[in-house]
Structure formats: C-alpha cells, structure tokens
Amino acid sequence: MLLLLLACTDGPALNAGKPELVVTPARADFGEVVLGDQSRLGMRVKNQGYGDLTFESVVAGVGGSPDFVVIAFPALLGHDEEGVLELGYTPDVEGQDFGTVVLTSDDPVTPVLTIELEAMGVLPVIDIDPEVLYFGTVAPGTSVTLTTRVTAAGSGNLRVTSAAFPGDEALAYTLGLPLDWADPYVVTRGFSFPIDITFTPPDTAEYVGELYIESNDPAEPVAAVRLFGNTVDNPTENEPPVVEILDPDNGEYFMDDASVNFTGYVFDGDEPATNLLCGWFADGTRVDLGDVNATGAVTGAGLLPVGEVEVTLRCYDSEGLVGEDSAVVTVWPHDEPVVYTISGGESVFDWFGIDDDVTFTVNGVAAYTDSNRTKDTLPPVTIEAQRGDTIGIVATDQNYCDMGLDALVLHWGTGESQPLNDALCDSACADSVCYTGAYNGPWPGVFFDESYVIAIP
C-alpha cells in the first residue's frame, strides 16, 4: 500500500498550489514610433502552474525611459489561464529608447520578472520635388508626362498611405505609381520614389488640380502637388512666380571654404520661365545669379558665411512681382573643430553596445570614456575634431566571459558618414552565441585598439 500511495502522488500533484508565470515574447520591441503618437503592444502572460497566480504589481522599471507605460494587466490568473499585459510607448524626442517593466507575483520560483523594452522615436518628413507641375499647352488626345519625387527626409521610415486625385483631375490626368506600390508604401530614410503624372486633355479647356499624398509626416499628413495644364496667360491678372528650393535641404552642413551648389524650380503661369530674373542669396546677400532654363530649373553656386545661414532663391517676373523660398543650413569654419557623432549604425540616433569599457580619443586626447566595468548599451557620442584628425578607439574587457563592440560609424551633418570598426563578439562561455573556442581573456585586458583618420567632410 505504501508503494502504491507514493506512485499515485508522483507527477502534477507534487506541484499543486504552486503558480508558474510565463511571459511571451521575452523582450518587447515597439519598433519605430512617430513623436507624439502612442504605440501599444500586448504581451501574453500565462499561468502554467497549478495554483492561482496573483500579480502584486506591474510597473515600469527604475532608470528606464519614462516614455514607456503599463496600460493594463490581469490581476489574477487561474491554472493554465492566460491574459494580456498591455504596454504603451509615446516618444517625445528622436532616437532609441530603452526601459524595463517589472512584474511582481506570487510565483515561488520567479517572484520578480523583468522584461526589457526597446523602441525608436522618429519624426518622418515628406519632401516632394517639385511641388508644382506645369504641362503647358497640350493638344486634345495627346499626352505629356512629368515626374515628381517623394523623399523620406526625416528620421525613421516614411509611410505613404495614399496618392490620389481629390476631385475631377482624373478627367485629364492619370497617375503612374511604382510597380511595387503597396498600402502603405514604406520609404527608408534618405531614399525616394518617383510618381509619374500624365496630362491627356480631352479638349482645349484649362485643367488645374492637385495630387494629394498622405503619409505619417505629423506636420504635413496630406501634401499636395499642384497641376497646371492648358493654362493661358490672363493679362488683367498677374500672379507672382512659384519658387521652390530643391537643394540644399534644411539642416544640411557645409564648410565655409567649399562652394555650395544650388538647384531650384520656378513656375509662372503668366510668362515663360526664361523671362524671370532670379538670384541666390545667403542671409540677404546675393551670392550668385540664378540661371533659369525653359523648364523652370534654376541653378547656381557660391561660398556661404559661417553660422546658421538662410539660403534664399528669389525670382521676379516682368512686372516686378516676387516669389521666393528659403532653407536654413549650417556652415562651419574650415580651420576650426566641428561636431562629429559616433553612433552604432547608419543613423546618428543609433545606440551601440560595449562589453565592457571603451575610450574614444582625438589625436591622442581622451574625448569620451565609459569605464563602469560593465556591459552597456550607450547613446551616440559627440566629439569635436577636424578632417585629417585621428580618432582612437580602445575597448577593454573587464569581466569573464564575454567581450564585444558593435560596429561604429562616424557622422558629420545630416548626410555624410564614415564607417569605423567592424563588429566584435567573442566569449569564453560555450553557451554564448559568440563562442568560438578561441577567446580566453585576459580579464581585464584590451581587446581592441585602433585609430582612424577622419575623411569627412
């Protein structure tokens, strides 16, 4: 009888009354979230034990980003019951965010469970060049096709959800989207795609309209391309020229000893573009005459003064009406240090990992040091230097058994970058994803010591 009793109590009955918490996935990544928007993410929480599971608290961890919040969670889970832990993320600045959520329950094995959180705050910007398409006079039944380009100019991906005519434009205009068009159409930061618009008028009447482009740009959720076909000059009414700067863009960086190339576009419904008088200005001072061709393209070049400079393209028509557009750029003195950013990726916002400590030097002088003797994920680092200076990177492994350093990239301004080191990852622990069998310290010890000559801008 004793043996039979022991056999009957073997198995699930031994765990009676003991809850067991399981959370999936083990790590929460919200991905890219537009500034000011809230993204919600649900995690599955399950009690796979045999007693009721009670949550004492579910709170954001200390030291993480305050942009992460706990929205809802189940207070009690019975045997084999599951629920949803709902988390929210609302970024207020651009860049990567990290945090944790701490679950405290009566699970006897894991009473406190910490889940890592990650997200990227982004500010997408839609840039359309050109914003005005003039088709001229087209005979009925014949066609003219013009192209505009949509560029993801901000941080993060631009998500274009619609491109359509709002009214009767389809009577004379047809839309040509990329072959891989999908809703939404995702454009990687810095890349662009073309939209072809064909004007085929059924008669000689004027056809003025717009193409609406909807995206996740919070400042301009609906952008418009203005369309002009078969428009005729009215001598009793005169509108100023429509002017747009295509290059440079707002926020670009330049050096004061390098000539900057300017490109723009001008349209005047009352007279040919070649009749217009244009000029390029820097903080109100003309730096070049604007060379205008028959299609309305305006070019120029010139040196810019040091500082934040407002570049303006200004065009006058034959009656003296003026149209203009401006972009603010930053110009650095060529003989003084400028600000560079060292990040862990293609963006200046990418964080990077180090196990355990790292020091950056400029011409042998320490510019940044992480020396807390622990594995870290660090934010981008800014340094002052000049082209031709030498950046040194020294990485030290302090603790058994892993060592690692992400690939680093040097950035200048909004568009120029220089790759530095390749990623390093090794371990003396056989269960590590980086284990090769070749690494065995020493601890502490320097595992990376290299120098790089700055080649940008």
| Predicted local confidence at residue 4, as pLDDT | 33
List residues bridging with 390 in a β-sheet.
Answer: 453
When mean pLDDT is compared across 236-240, 378-382, 422-426, the lowest value belongs to 236-240
* Identical topology for domains 17-122 and 123-232: yes
pLDDT for 146-168, tens place per residue? Answer: 999 999 998 889 999 999 999 89
Are 130 and 147 in contact, with CB atoms under 8 Å apart?
Answer: no
pLDDT, residue 11, reads: 43
Q: Which of 374, 373, 370, 375 is nearest to 358 (CA)?
A: 370
Rounded to 5°, angle at Cα 228 from 223 and 231: 155
50-65 average pLDDT score: 91
Average of per-residue pLDDT across 387-406: 96
Q: Above 90 in pLDDT, residue 404? A: yes
- Give me the CATH code for the 123-232 domain, please: 2.60.40.10
In the predicted model, is pLDDT for residue 3 greater than 60? no
pLDDT at 293: 94
- How far, CA to CA in Å, does 27 sit from each of 62, 117, 221? 17, 6, 32
User: Which pLDDT does position 232 carry in this prediction?
Assistant: 66
Instruction: Between 394 and 250, name the one with better pLDDT.
Output: 394
Spell out the domain ranges in the chain: 17-122, 123-232, 234-334, 338-453
| Segment among 86-90, 227-231, 423-427, 453-457 with least mean pLDDT | 227-231
Q: What percent of the chain has pLDDT over 70?
A: 95
SS3 43: strand
Query: What mean pLDDT, rounded, does the chain reach?
Result: 91
Calculate mean pLDDT across residues 231-248: 77
State the pLDDT at residue 263: 96
- Reported as a single tens digit per residue, the pLDDT across 113-132 is 999 999 999 999 999 988 88
- Residue 236 clears pLDDT 70, i.e. is over it: no
Neighbours of 162 (CB within 10 A): 12
Indicate the class that CATH gives domain 17-122: mainly beta
Q: Positive or negative, the Cα torsion across 251, 252, 253, 254?
A: negative
The whole-number pLDDT of residue 10 equals: 43
CA count, 13 A, side-chain hemisphere, 80: 2
Express as a percent the part of the chain with pLDDT over 90.
80
Q: What tens digit of pLDDT does each residue of 296-355 get?
A: 999 999 999 999 999 999 999 988 889 999 999 999 998 899 999 999 999 889 999 999
Q: Name the pLDDT band for 1 (thresholds 50, 70, 90).
A: very low
Q: Can you spell out the DSSP letters for 175-221?
A: EE--TT--SSEEE-TT-EEEEEEEE--SSSS-EEEEEEEEES-SS-S
**Domain covering 234-334 in this structure, CATH number:** 2.60.40.10
pLDDT above 60 for 80? yes
State residue 323's pLDDT score.
95
Q: Per-residue pLDDT for 248 more than 70?
A: yes
Indicate whether 415 pLDDT > 80: no
Q: What length is written for the chain?
A: 457
What is the per-residue pLDDT for 295?
Answer: 93
Q: How far apart are CA 254 and CA 334, in angstroms?
A: 9
Residues 6+ apart with CB under 8 A from 241: 266, 267, 268, 276, 315, 316, 317, 321, 322, 323
The beta-strand segments (E) located in 333-389 are 338-343, 352-355, 357-362, 365-370, 376-378, 381-385
